[in-house]
Structure 1
Amino acid sequence: MKKNVFLLTMVAGTLLMSGCASKKDLENCQNENRELTENYQNVKEQLAASKARVASLEDQLAQQKRNAAALQRSLDKSLSNANANNVNISKLVDQINESNQYIRHLVEVKSKSDSLNMVLTNNLTRSLSREEMKEVDVRVLKGVVYISLADNMLYKSGSYEINDRAEETLRKIAKIIMDYKDYDVLIEGNTDNVPVNTAAPSMKNIRNNWDLSALRASSVVQYLQDRFGVAPKRLTAGGRGEYNPVASNNTEVGKQRNRRTQIIITPKLDQFMDLIDKAPEEKK
């Protein structure tokens, strides 16, 4: 009997101990489960945050790619514009070089013209006597040779007819004109402001100083043509009346200076315009 009671006690103790152990394990499992659940939740949240971060980085990367593409297009456009500007600059430099070459050409032409005019002037002044030089004024102005002759050495008193005294001087001038065949000659008559004496026999049919100046210029033109063989196509006669004075008409000396005939020797206009219009050929 005692033996059976002991056995029952042992079994009860064993069962009691076994029940206690299972409850502790359960609590441990529950705690572990909660910890794992918390860890899982944390990892899940971290994963979500990482995905959000990755998405944000991907958006940033896409934006950077778009920015890079825009910058590349801008760079390509700038390079294209730079190339176009280089071409334009090159063309501008070529145009400047051509202009400089043309300017040098014009300077050479002017220098050549000035040199010829100086030679012409020197030849003419050397051929004139000391007495003739008192009544003949020779000047070069802006590439044109002006020979100014006093009316009393050219014309008969109160007339437009050439006097005998003028022949030798006009002969020398005609020789210069003949030597320079590439020059045209304008004969220009000028008077003072004293009205023409229409009652004088020599002034018959002359209305005013315009008529007198034009007729005097025409007389010189025909004299050069008829006496010395100057080609008429090179000659032009013109009258300026009293309207181109070189001195005041308030004094006798001034009036005397204004009563003059000018022989103006210039390069032929068509040849001169050809020189101006025609740029020099480019050197290859």
Structure 2
Amino acid sequence: MRKIVIALSFFMLLTSCVSKKKYTDLEDRNKETQDLLNTCTVKLNSCLEDKSGLSATLAALRDQIQNLKLTNQDLISTSKDMTILSTKGAQNIEKALESIKEKDLKISRMQDALTKKDSVTLALVTSLKSAVGISDPDIEINVEKGVVFISIADKMLFKSGSYDVTDRAKGILAKVAKVVNDKPTFECMVEGHTDNVPYSGSGLLLDNWDLSVKRSTSIIRVLTNELKVNPAQLIAAGRSSYIPLVENNSAENRARNRRTRIVVLPKIDEFYEMIENEMKKQQQ
């Protein structure tokens, strides 16, 4: 900068005693010098910015190197610990594998027991269909969620709005009773179902809940009093109109929803006993 100031002073001194041509040349050189100064200033600022960025990068790299050194030390310590624990870890893995094998064996035994239960269920369905011997769309014998049930339309059991069992129904119930009597360890739940038309009869019944339960108990009385089924095997249940097969939007659909289901199932404790016996056989 000092040199530039001296040059400018010298230039001003000469302007009074030099020719116009020399003055112009000196002025052009001055402009070139000023442009060069500006360019150098810009480059200097850029270099200073680059230096600042590189300094920050260098600091970050030094931090990373320090972190890597610490991580390396941790890995060395961990590897030592793993060497110490390797024997114990192998023992734990062996125990875990043994536990898994035991669980797989239990699951296999449970599946065998369930297969036997399904076989019993299938045999029961076959027995019921053979005993009832009626091919009528108003009577269904089927399996639902592992449970055997007989569904009978109410038009075959009762008159409309009544809970008195018809004579025709007694003939059907006699065949059901024969199957139940042949399975003294099984239980039967008699479920009454109605449509959604409110009960309008007189007497002690208040609504469809009462009607559905009363129809269930009426069937149970026929099974026990007239057909000699053990009362301890029977369960009375009423579901009112709340589990319809179809929407109650037509006379035909409401007729389908008015039904009685006789659910036939082994006792739960006997089912568990079946599983236990199967597991004991597997252990022998």
Name the TM tier (shorter chain). 0.5 to 0.7
1:221 alignment partner, SS class = helix
- Give the 3 Å change call, closer, same or farther, for CA 179–83 of structure 1 in structure 2: farther
Whether the 8 Å contact between 2:131 and 2:179 is mirrored in structure 1 is: no
Match of 2:125 in 1: 121
Q: Is the 8 A contact 2:161 2:199 kept in 1?
A: no
Is 2:255 aligned against 1:252?
no
Q: Specify the alignment match of 2:28 in structure 1.
A: none
111, 121, 124: which is aligned to 2:115?
111
So what's the TM-score if we normalise by structure 2?
0.66
Q: TM-score, normalised by structure 1?
A: 0.66
1:99 pairs with 77, 97, 103, which one? Answer: 103
Gaps spanning 5+ residues in structure 1: where? Answer: 1-70
SS of the aligned residue for 1:207 comes to coil
- Whether the 8 Å contact between 2:194 and 2:240 is mirrored in structure 1 is yes
CA distances 1:66-94 after superposition (whole Å, capped 9, x unpaired): xxxxx9xx76x545522222222122112
Query: What is the match of residue 232 of structure 1?
Result: 231
- Within-5 A mapping of 1:11-160: 78-130=82-134, 133-160=136-163
Distance 1:122 1:209 in 2: 33
The alpha carbon displacement at 1:122 in A equals: 1.3
Deviation at 1:143, TM superposition (A): 1.4
Q: Which secondary structure does the structure 2 equivalent of 1:261 belong to?
A: strand
Please name the residue that 2:190 is paired with.
187
Q: 1:130 to 1:272 in 2, by over 3 A?
A: closer
Which ranges of structure 2 fall in alignment gaps of 5 or more residues?
1-75
Tell me the distance in 2 between the aligned counterparts of 1:89 and 1:229: 61
Shift of 1:130: 4.0
Question: Does the aligned pair in 2 maintain the 1:160–1:215 contact within 8 Å?
Answer: yes
Letter in structure 2 aligned against 1:229 = K
Aligned-residue offset at 1:279: 8.9
Q: Deviations over 1:180-234 (max 9, x none)?
A: 23321111000000111224xxxx1110000000010111122211222222122
Q: SS of the residue aligned with 1:280? A: helix
Does residue 161 of structure 1 match 2:164? yes
Distance 2:247 2:88 in 1: 64
Aligned partner of 2:215 in structure 1 is 216
How many residues in Structure 1 have an aligned counterpart in Structure 2? 208
Taking only the aligned residue pairs, the percentage that are identical comes to: 35
Contact 2:188 2:234 in 1 (8 A): yes
The answer to whether the 8 A contact 1:225-1:231 is kept is yes
Cα distance in structure 2, aligned partners of 1:177 and 1:130:
17
Q: Could you tell me how far apart the structure 1 residues matched to 2:142 and 2:180 are?
A: 15
- Write the distance in 1 (CA, Å) between the matches of 2:254 and 2:157: 16
Does the residue aligned with 1:138 lie in a helix, a strand or coil?
A: strand
Which amino acid letter does the alignment assign opposite residue 279 of structure 2?
P
Shift of 1:173: 0.8
- Structure-1 separation of matches of 2:85 and 2:273: 40
Matched-pair contact (CA < 8 Å) for 1:101–1:280: no
* More divergent stretch after superposition (160-169 vs 271-280): 271-280
Structure-1 residue corresponding to 2:29: none
Contact 1:102 1:279 in 2 (8 A): no
Return the offset for 1:134: 2.8
Say which SS state the counterpart of residue 108 (structure 1) adopts.
helix
AA aligned to 1:160 is Y
**Equivalents in 1 of 2:115, 2:184: separation in Å?**
19
CA distance in 1, matches of 2:208, 2:248: 14
Structure number with greater Rg is 1
In 2, Cα distance between equivalents of 1:103 and 1:178: 34
